[in-house]
Amino acid sequence: MMFQHILLPTDGSQLSRDTAERAVSFAKAANLKITALYARPSGPTSVEDVGSLVEPAVLGRMASGSEGKSKEYLGFIKKLCKEAGVECTALAVVSDTPWEAIVNVAEDNQCDLIFMSKHGRGGLSSLLLGSETYRVLTHSSIPVLVYRPPEVDADRRKAKAKEKGRKKD
């Protein structure tokens, strides 16, 4: 299957930025277009949502702050795409379930590949916190490419080698 359109979700983290760089070079090499996505949490949207604890002016600043984040996070990807000559559309959606937003946006925009990273959590914290990547993998009918930065593999290899060394003693 040849891919034509990548959905690239971001949360603004360094890992998301590294993943975006890799996704853009992949898209350039394969002549693909990218839809960048930032799913921001809804948070309180009105005085009624938080009672009288927060003044309307503060709510306005909170809302514009999250809009600023989406512009910053998506702007980073748009700049990478522009520099690489890759067609890019940027979308910000409001969602308290990012994995669901990712799957829905991919389907709604006819993306045929979701390119995302897996955060480095493992073990119990991964189980307790849940993994957006895992949820996308298990709920999407669209293929998902999970990018793991080289340094994550290097750390894992070092830990394995250290463990092997202990078993020999």
> The CATH number of the domain where 90 resides is what?
3.40.50.620
Using alpha carbons, select from 67, 81, 65 the residue that is nearest to residue 26: 81
Position 130 scores a pLDDT of 58
Q: What is the pLDDT of residue 44?
A: 54
Q: What is the pTM of this model?
A: 0.76
Q: What is the pLDDT of residue 142?
A: 97
Mean per-residue pLDDT pooled into runs of 10, the chain (169 residues): 92 92 97 96 54 49 65 97 98 93 97 88 54 91 90 66 69
What is the number of structural domains in the chain? Answer: 1
Question: What's the confidence (pLDDT) of residue 45?
Answer: 46
Expressed as residue numbers, the domain containing 63 is: 5-168
Task: Tell me what pLDDT residue 97 has.
Answer: 92
pLDDT for residue 55: 52
Assign 3-class secondary structure to the chain: CCCCEEEEECCCCHHHHHHHHHHHHHHHHHCCEEEEEEEECCCCCCHHHHCCCCCHHHHHHHHHHHHHHHHHHHHHHHHHHHHHCCCEEEEEEECCCHHHHHHHHHHHCCCCEEEEECCCCCHHHHHHHCCHHHHHHHHCCCCEEEECCHHHHHHHHHHHHHHHHHHHC
